[in-house]
């Protein structure tokens, strides 16, 4: 908490904070002996914790799913939205699988539907062969939505 004083302030050349001029020498001695400015984020951190600050905040980390190396601050977004090995669910059968395999799976997913051009009905892929062999070709006026 800053205390209002009648004196002027000076800027500490180590931490760039405004310090009451009457305290600047004592502040600078303490500040320069104990604090270090992070070269990446500019935060003032205790010298004894500078390495720990770097490792916990800025050091590159590997994704535990795909091993790609990135900045720690984007790891959570990568794992949730961009990682090719994150687990996603097929919208047709709700089967969980790695995102990289989803498109190939959905091409052959038995629960995916396709429009039968003979009767105008949506038929599950796994039932298509049997349907086509017995389809009468009569149009169905109750067309359902495709998935």
pLDDT in tens, 13-70: 999 999 999 999 999 999 999 999 998 888 999 999 999 999 888 889 999 999 999 9
Q: pLDDT (tens digit, 9 = 90+) per residue, 112-138?
A: 889 998 899 999 988 988 998 898 888
In the predicted structure, residue 4 carries a pLDDT above the cut 90 = no
pLDDT at 69: 96
Domains, the chain, ordered by start: 9-56 (3.30.40)
Query: Could you tell me the pTM of the whole model?
Result: 0.56
β pairing state of 44-46 and 18-20:
unpaired
């Amino acid at each position: 908490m800053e205390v209002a004083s009648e004196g002027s302030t000076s800027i500490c050349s180590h931490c760039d904070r405004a310090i009451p001029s009457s305290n600047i020498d004592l502040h600078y001695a303490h500040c320069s002996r104990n604090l270090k400015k992070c070269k990446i984020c500019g935060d003032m951190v205790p010298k004894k914790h500078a390495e720990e600050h770097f490792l916990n905040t800025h050091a590159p980390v590997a994704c535990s799913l795909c091993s790609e190396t990135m900045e720690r601050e984007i790891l959570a977004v990568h794992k949730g939205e961009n990682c090719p090995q994150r687990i996603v669910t097929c919208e047709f059968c709700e089967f969980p699988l790695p995102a990289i395999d989803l498109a190939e799976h959905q091409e052959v997913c038995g629960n995916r539907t396709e429009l039968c051009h003979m009767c105008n009905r949506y038929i599950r892929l796994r039932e298509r062969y049997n349907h086509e062999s017995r389809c009468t070709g009569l149009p169905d006026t109750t067309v359902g939505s495709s998935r």
